[in-house]
Structure 1
Amino acid sequence: MADFSTFDTRHYRIVDVATGYDGWSTTYEDSVLDAMDLDLLDGLTVPDRATVDRAVDLGCGTGRTGAWLRERGVSHVDGVDLSAGMLALAEKRGAHTTLTRGDVRASGLPGGSYDLAIASLIDEHLPGLEPLYAEAWRLTRPGGHFVLVAYHPQFMMVSGMPTHFTDASGEDVAITTHVHHIGDHVRAALAAGWRLAALEEAVVDDDWVAAKPKWERFRGHPISAAFVWTRPDREAVRTR
């Protein structure tokens, strides 16, 4: 893990996660492009969607990921988030079976209950990754998967841009941001028992530059990444 302050070129006022997402909640849907996360998820071939009936959405936010899961046939989706403002919007959206205000590292949900754990654009707010990967492991059944979409560390370092939003007064405000290298994810995941099934990266392309013309200088740089982890099926291992 690298200290983001080393790369920070914006020097915005920084707030904690719950405060930040409460403040961002009213404009979040208008400021996060599908290319950042949902388009990456659309391109994944693992896990087989036919095998996913129950999912847990860690850091569910306004319910974008939950709605994506529902639209792809997942019948039960439980959501967890620290921000009351984001949860209120997720409840209004209606994609989740249950919503819990809590920490993604200790959700309190029953262990071994899910075919899929998914977390999108939240890991940069955690000082360490090990508790997230351990909790995802606890929540999933043997043979299940953990899909994590991350704000790419390379883009964070090259751009010097923290996760941030513009508040009601017009001030740009940063939410506590940490840089986790790809290797940090691998070490934390392997320590929890996960096996890597897929890794896809999205880059700044024509569509991104059309939406954000000032990003021409970032063309070709990776901006987000999707990790797909598999929890080994212990019964299958024993019968070999």
Structure 2
Amino acid sequence: MPDFSDFDTRHYRTVDVVTGYDGWSSTYEDSVLDAMDLALLDRLRAPDWSGVRRAADLGCGTGRTGAWLRGRDVAHVDGVDLSAGMLALAARRGAHDTLTQGDVRATGLPGNSYDLVIASLIDEHLPDLAPLYAEARRLTRPGGRCVLVSYHPQFIMASGMPTHFTDATGEEVAITTHVHLIGDHVSAALAHGWRLEELDEAVVDEGWVAAKPQWERFRGHPISAAFVWVRPD
């Protein structure tokens, strides 16, 4: 598996996930564009969102994904996140039925209970994908789905850009970032009994360049990917 340090062009001070997202929580909503994740979810064809009764939102953050699910008539959404700062904002948003401070690889949520497990923009913080796919499998009912939106490894490698934020002092701070190739996702998911139903990738397009003119040199590069996995039994 590639090591992010081989591609890092920023060399920011790096902090762990909890420290990073607690520090980022107050400005997160202003810095993450819907084009990165929610617009990609909008494009997926495989999930019948209206048929989802119960969803587990892993790495739920400020509740953006939970609110998106509510907008598709998902009746019950449980959220899990390591960051107390992000969970406080999710609680204020009110999209989740329950919120738990915990690890997405060992959530403590009941097994075989969810029609959908969804995780958005968290996998780059995990050194190994296998525990995430194993926990998603444990949580999901037979016939249920796991939808994962990922910061695209090709963009991480091409840009040398870790997940990062600007702290209260104006310093750019990186959050521990790992590179997982598309094939790494496929290998880890298949090993835990998932079947790939859909894969879509978003690229840096005119909208991205309008929002971030300095990204003109990345036009056409993939920026994020969405996987739809089915638990067949």
TM normalised by structure 2 equals 0.99
Query: What residue identity is the alignment partner of 1:41?
Result: L
Q: Tell me which stretches of 4 or more aligned residues in structure 1 moved more than 6 Å.
A: none
Does 1:188 find its partner at 2:161? Answer: no
Distance in 2 of aligned mates of 1:94 and 1:227: 26
The aligned residue for residue 132 of structure 2 is 132
Structure 1 portions without partners, runs of 5+? 235-240
- For residues 50 and 132 of structure 1, the distance between their equivalents in structure 2, rounded to whole angstroms, comes to 25
- Return the offset for 1:58: 0.2
**Offset at 1:117?**
0.1
**One-letter amino acid of the structure 1 residue matched with residue 185 of structure 2:** H
Residue identity opposite 2:106 in structure 1:
A
1:82 corresponds to 2:87: no
Q: Percent identity?
A: 81
CA distance in structure 1 between the partners assigned to 2:31 and 2:82 by the alignment: 20
> Partner residue of 1:38?
38
Spell out the pairing of 1:85-234 with structure 2 (5 A cutoff). Answer: 85-232=85-232, 234=233
How many corresponding residue pairs? 233
Deviations 1:20-76 (A, max 9, x none): 000000000000000000000001111112320100000000000000000100010
- Alpha carbons 2:77, 2:98 under 8 Å: kept: yes
Normalised by the length of structure 1, the TM-score is 0.97
Partner Cα separation in structure 2 for residue 178 and residue 197 of structure 1? 25
Q: What is the aligned-residue RMSD (CA, Å)?
A: 0.4
SS at match of 2:208: helix
Alpha-carbon shift at residue 112 of structure 1 (Å): 0.4
Match for residue 238 of structure 1?
A: none
Q: Render the CA deviation track for 1:176-231: whole Å, top value 9, x for unaligned.
A: 00000000000000001000000000000000000000000000000000000000
Q: Which residue of 2 aligns with 1:68?
A: 68
Would the aligned equivalents of 2:50 and 2:72 in 1 still touch at CA under 8 Å? no
Q: Tell me, what secondary structure is at the counterpart of 2:143?
A: strand
Would you say the 8 A contact 2:76–2:97 is kept in 1? yes
Give the structure 2 partner of residue 237 of structure 1.
none
Q: Secondary structure at the match of 2:137?
A: helix
Once the two structures are superposed, what CA deviation does each residue of 1:126-168 show, in whole Å capped at 9, x if it has no partner? 0000000000000000000000000000000000000000000
Q: Is the 8 A contact 2:60 2:80 kept in 1?
A: yes
> What SS does structure 1 have at the residue aligned with 2:35?
helix
1:54 and 1:76 mapped to 2: Cα distance?
5
- Is the 2:59–2:119 Cα contact (8 Å) retained in structure 1? yes
